[in-house]
Copies of this chain bind each other. A is one copy, B any other.
Amino acid sequence: MREPDFSKGLLTAVVVDERSKDVLMVAWMNEESYRQTLATKETWFWSRSRQELWHKGATSGNTQRVKKIMLDCDQDTILLYVNPTGPACHTGHTTCFFEQIL
C-alpha cells in the first residue's frame, strides 16, 4: 500500500460527495490529521489560518464520513469520497464551490 508523501509539506485534500460526485471542498492535511482521518473514518484537516488540527464538523455537527480515499500519482494530493452529515461550506451551501465564474 502506497502512502502520501508528507516530506513535500501539507497534503492537498479534495473532498467529494460519494453519491452526487460533487466536489464539496478542498483543505489541507498534515500527517496527524491524515492518521486521525484513517483512524476515525471522519475528515480531519490542518487549518492553515488557525494553525491547528481541525475535525470537520466538531462544532457545526457537519461531519463527513469517509468511504474511500484515492492517492494521486505523485503522492501529494488525496481524494476523499465522503457521506456528509450536512453542508460542507461555512456559508451553509452544500459545497464551497457555489459561485460560477465561467
Residues of A within 8 A of B (CB): 1-4, 12, 14, 16, 21-23, 25-26, 38, 66, 68-74, 77-79, 89-91, 93, 96-102
The 3 closest A-B pairs by CB, nearest first: A69-B102, A70-B97, A21-B21
Q: Give the number of copies in the complex.
A: 2
Which chain B residue has the least Cβ–Cβ distance from A76?
Answer: B26
Task: State the Cβ distance, A75 to closest chain B Cβ, in Å.
Answer: 9
A101 CA / B2 CA spacing, docked (Å) = 7
Chain B: which residue is nearest A89 at the CB level? B73
A70→B95 CA distance, assembly (Å):
11
Q: Measured between C-beta atoms, what is the minimum distance from A87 to chain B in Å? A: 11
Name the residue on B nearest A102 (C-beta). B69
Is B26 within 8 A of A16, CB to CB? no
> Are A96 and B73 interface neighbours, CB within 8 A?
yes
Residues of B within 8 A of A3 (CB): 101
Q: Which residue of B lies closest to A38 (CB)?
A: B102
